[in-house]
Structures are given as C-alpha cells and as structure tokens.
Amino acid sequence: MNDNERNGLQEIIDKAISDIARTEGDSFELDKMNLAEFSRRTGLSRSR
C-alpha cells in the first residue's frame, strides 16, 4: 500500500467516525463505537 492509498483510507475512516459522532451527539465514545455501523459506512472489515 503506497502513501496515496493510505491517505485515502485514512480520509474514509475519519469521515465515517465524524459522521457517527455527529449522529450520536454527546453520547459518542470512540472506544465504544459500533463496529458493525463503522464497517457498513466504510466498506471495511477486519481481516480474518
């Protein structure tokens, strides 16, 4: 993975986290974020 791909991936992750935080409001906690929702929004999943 080159730097451009890595930067693009980081932008996708940052936007998804920002959108989820905006939706949840003051109750948002990054360490308790819904990973299924994160995966749905980004199309990313954990490796097996």
Exposed/middle/buried for residue 29 (C-beta within 10 Å: 0-12, 13-18, 19+) = exposed
**Alpha carbon distances (Å) from 39 to 3, 8, 33:** 22, 16, 11
Return the domain boundaries, the chain.
Answer: 3-42
> Model confidence over 8-27: pLDDT tens digits?
889 999 999 999 999 999 99
Q: What is the pLDDT of residue 45?
A: 84
Confidence of residue 1 (pLDDT cuts 50, 70, 90): confident
Q: Is residue 48 predicted with pLDDT exceeding 80?
A: no
